[in-house]
Every structure is written in C-alpha cells, then in structure tokens.
C-alpha cells in the first residue's frame, strides 16, 4: 500500500468534520470555548468621560496662566469613584476627584494632584491643563455596537474580561467535544503499579490529556485495554456512547495483537487507514461511526504526539468551530545543522528559545526523555540539509519557560 501526504490525510479528515452545535453560556464559564457568533459591545467603553488621575476637575481656560504664577480655584465638592456630581464646574472653581471618577459637567480637564497645593477649600494650581488633559473620553476604547469578538475566535482571559467590561454577560459558543482516551496494550500498567518483566507504565493518556487541556474539551480517560478483539470492541462501544471523538493509542499496526481497526469495523464504523508520508507517524487510522470519529494513533509516544498534533488536533479545533486549525508558528535560527536524508517529511522535535532553535535530543519515536525540553515541531522535507543559522519556522504546541531565565 502506498503512502499519502500529510495534506491529503488532513484534507480527507476535515472533509468529514463540522463544528458541533451551539449553546448560550455565561461569560464566566466561557474561557477556552470558541465564539459561534459575532459579539458586539453593548455599551461604550469608557461608559462616560472620566478622570485618568487623582486630582481636580477644572475648566482648562482657568489654568492657562498657571505656567507663570499659580492659579487659585475654589473647590466646590468631591466626586468618589461610582458617584455623580450634582453641580457644575463654573469659572474659578474646581472639584476634587479620583481615577475613574465621572467628569462633572462644566469641566473639560483634570489637573493632577501632584501639580496642586490645597489650603482648606482653596486649591493652587501650578500647571496649565490643555482641554481634555487627563480625561478618558466616553467610547474612546470601544464604541457600543462595534464587534469585539468574531465567530471562530477562542475566548482568552483578556477577551472574556472585554466581554464583561463591555456589558456582555452571556455569549453563544460552539459545544465543546467530549473526547475519550483509550490506551491499548497487554504490556501497559497504570502509573504507579508494580511491573512484571516485559511490562511498562502507560503514559500516552497523560500526554494526550495534557495536550487537550488548553483546548477546553471534556476529557474521559478510560481504562487501559488488553489486546483482545472483544475487549477492544466493548471498550470502543462504551467510549462512543459517551464521547464525540475517541482517541486510541497502539494496536493499529499490522501485528497479530493489533485489534483497534477490526473492533471498530465490527461496531459498524467506517475506517480509513493510511500510511502517511511523515516521520514519525507510520500507521494511523481515522474512522467515522454515525457522526463520531475515531483517531487511532500509533502506540509509540513520539508518534502519538506528532500524529495527534498534525491530524487529530485540527479536527478537534474544527469540531469546536475554531477558524484557525493550525499550531502557532515561531521563527528562529537553527542552532545546529539538521538534515533529512529519508524519503518522508521529518517532524523534528525542537526547543524554541528566544529565537534559537535546538534539536531536542535523540529523535527515535520511542524516546520520551528528549521531549522533556521540546515545545515545537520543525518540518524538514525529504532530501534536505539545513545549516546552522538557517531561518526556520517552528510549530509550537506548548510555550515552555525561557531557558535564559532559569
Ligand atoms: P503499538 O503501536 O501498540 O505496536 O505500540 C508501539 C510501541 O509503543 C510499543 O513499544 C508499546 O509498548 C508502546 N506503547 C503503546 N502504547 C503505549 C502507551 N499507552 N504508553 C506508553 N507506551 C506505549
Ligand atoms: Mg500494542
């Protein structure tokens, strides 16, 4: 069987995947969710003209002489934050106010406290104020009715705070998928369990749930299953009854212990199995059952990582309604030469650090140690030699702390 390109595999997968339905939720619950409909500001921001400083509201014309000699103004009152001043600032007067206090009528500027001296209710002003100096104008940040969030954008900390500030307490988002994680393999034991000869601790479910965590999906970590057709079928059936998408690791190869494909088709699933022309990668299964999806990843942890990032992640983002399905990219300079003499694209695991790109240790697909300090994939085409200093783009899956600051 021939190999297909990564692009072709991705396009085929995405041709079946459509955003889940929508729901209206509270802004306080929206972090990580994807906006389904444009949201407009309900109010102006700022909502009213207000002071940028602790100081005095004045008519700027009254302060014109203050550069040469100080000007005395009579203080007519005080406006705390959250209050409205009943009177008007007339010539020769000022009003005490604070950062965020509503500008009183009649005033067109604020003199900061540091440029004044008070003596009872007489305030000496030492600096002239231009019209609107130290005033934050109504609507200068956001105007009521302007779009503040587009469909397809993910709710971040700053976006949720903007929604709240601009008068939105709810918004319409896409439903987030429930994703079931299954590890297959007779050799696998739960972390912490004692091992018999030949056994290993299962680690792919933690890898995948960690990669999924920032996407705000509901994650079901299901038990390890043995390499057994009936057990695999039962586990998949259970997983599909609870989840929109099931990710398995292991058991998709060609050995006589690989039951994921057969178990899935026994359930009525339609399977597409590909050898994708990438390294690491090897066999990878994608399948559909009703409107749900199976991602059968290879068992080798590095292969599971790379195929998840390049093939499963975009599909999950599409289910969430996200408009950008790709990993973010950063540019950098290679710290060492990298070459690919093979005939498949090599996704080299690297560490991007302040614009320098280092290869993250040995690249064999079973080696987890080198991933400790990896945060990106470097796509090296076949028959390519990249020299030290070459400018490259790295697809980042996670931002690590800067090594310089350690
Ligand atoms: P498989 O794809 O099932 O043939 O597994 C390939 C390699 O990955 C074998 O060395 C497995 O022991 C290892 N492996 C499979 N699943 C896991 C897992 N969940 N955690 C850690 N290693 C695994
Ligand atoms: Mg296996």
CA distances (Å), origin 176, targets 30, 34, 161, 179, 391: 11, 8, 21, 9, 37
Give the distance (Å) from ligand 2 centre to CA of residue 198. Answer: 13
Ligand 1 neighbourhood includes 283 CB (under 6 angstroms): no
Considering every ligand atom, which ligand is closest to the CA of 284?
1
Cis peptide leading into residue 11 (ω within 30°): no
Ligand 1 neighbourhood includes 249 CB (under 6 angstroms): yes
Q: CB 53: neighbour CB atoms within 10 A?
A: 20
Spatial separation of the C-alpha atoms in residues 151 and 143, rounded to whole Å: 19
Give the distance (Å) from ligand 2 centre to CA of residue 241. Answer: 24
Cis peptide leading into residue 280 (ω within 30°): yes
For the chain, count helices (H), then strands (E): 7, 29
Considering every ligand atom, which ligand is closest to the CA of 252?
1
**Buried-exposed string 202-229: b where 16+ CB fall within 10 A, e elsewhere:** bebbebbbebbeebbbebbebebbbbee
Beta strands (DSSP E) in 317-390 are 329-334, 338-340, 345-353, 356-359, 376-380, 384-386
Spatial separation of the C-alpha atoms in residues 328 and 34, rounded to whole Å: 17
Ligand 1 neighbourhood includes 185 CB (under 6 angstroms): yes
Ligand 1 neighbourhood includes 365 CB (under 6 angstroms): no
Give the distance (Å) from ligand 2 centre to CA of residue 260. Answer: 10
Here the tokens at position 46 are 């700022």
Ligand 1 neighbourhood includes 204 CB (under 6 angstroms): yes
Ligand 1 neighbourhood includes 188 CB (under 6 angstroms): yes
Ligand 1: atom nearest CA of 255 is 4
Output helix, strand, coil percentages for the chain, rounded to the nearest 5: 25, 35, 45
Spatial separation of the C-alpha atoms in residues 208 and 305, rounded to whole Å: 8
Considering every ligand atom, which ligand is closest to the CA of 188?
1
Q: What is the pLDDT along the chain (406 residues), one digit of tens a residue?
A: 589 999 999 999 999 999 999 999 999 999 999 999 999 999 999 999 999 999 999 999 999 998 889 999 999 999 999 999 999 999 999 999 999 999 999 999 999 999 999 999 999 999 999 999 999 999 999 999 999 999 999 999 999 999 999 999 999 999 999 999 999 999 999 999 999 999 999 999 999 999 999 999 999 999 999 999 999 999 999 999 999 999 999 999 888 989 999 999 999 999 998 889 999 987 899 999 999 999 999 999 999 999 999 999 999 999 999 999 999 999 999 999 999 999 999 999 999 999 999 999 998 888 899 999 999 999 999 999 999 999 999 999 999 988 765 4
Q: Check: CB of residue 147 under 8 Å from CB of residue 162.
A: no
Ligand 1 neighbourhood includes 297 CB (under 6 angstroms): no
């Amino acid at each position: 069987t021939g190999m297909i390109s990564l692009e072709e595999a991705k396009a085929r997968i995405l041709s079946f995947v459509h955003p889940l339905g929508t729901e209206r939720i509270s802004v306080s619950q929206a972090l990580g969710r994807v906006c389904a409909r444009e949201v407009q500001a309900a109010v102006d921001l700022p909502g009213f003209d207000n002071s940028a400083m602790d100081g005095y509201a004045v008519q700027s014309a009254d302060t014109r002489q203050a550069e040469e000699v100080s000007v005395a103004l009579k203080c007519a009152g005080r406006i705390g934050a959250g209050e409205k001043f009943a009177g008007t600032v007339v010539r020769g007067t000022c009003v005490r106010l604070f950062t965020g206090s509503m500008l009183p009528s009649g005033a067109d500027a604020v003199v900061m406290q540091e440029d004044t001296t008070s003596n009872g209710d007489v305030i000496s002003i030492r600096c002239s104020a231009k019209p609107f100096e130290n005033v934050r104008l109504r609507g200068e940040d956001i105007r009521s009715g302007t779009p503040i969030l587009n469909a397809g954008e993910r709710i971040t900390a700053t976006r949720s705070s903007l929604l709240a500030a601009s008068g939105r307490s709810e918004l319409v988002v896409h439903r987030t998928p429930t994703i079931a994680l299954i590890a297959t393999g007779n050799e696998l034991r739960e972390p912490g369990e004692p091992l018999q000869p030949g056994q290993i601790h299962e680690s792919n479910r933690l890898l995948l749930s960690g990669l999924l965590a920032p996407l705000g999906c509901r994650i079901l970590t299901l038990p390890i299953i043995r390499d057994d057709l009936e057990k695999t079928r039962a586990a998949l059936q259970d997983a599909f009854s609870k989840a929109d998408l099931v990710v398995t690791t292991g058991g998709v190869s060609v050995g006589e212990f690989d039951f994921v494909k057969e178990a899935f088709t026994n359930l009525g699933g339609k399977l597409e199995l590909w050898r994708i022309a990438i390294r690491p990668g090897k066999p990878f299964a994608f399948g559909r059952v009703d409107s749900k999806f199976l991602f059968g990843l290879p068992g080798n942890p590095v292969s599971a990582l790379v195929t998840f990032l390049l093939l499963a992640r975009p599909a999950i983002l599409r289910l969430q309604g996200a408009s950008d399905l790709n990993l973010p990219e950063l540019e950098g300079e290679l710290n060492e030469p990298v070459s690919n003499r093979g005939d498949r694209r090599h996704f080299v695991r690297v560490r991007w650090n302040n614009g320098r790109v280092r290869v993250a240790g040995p690249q064999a697909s079973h080696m987890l140690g080198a991933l400790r300090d990896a945060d990106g994939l470097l796509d090296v085409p076949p028959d390519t030699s990249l020299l030290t200093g070459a400018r490259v783009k790295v697809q980042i899956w996670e931002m690590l702390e800067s090594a310089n600051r350690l």
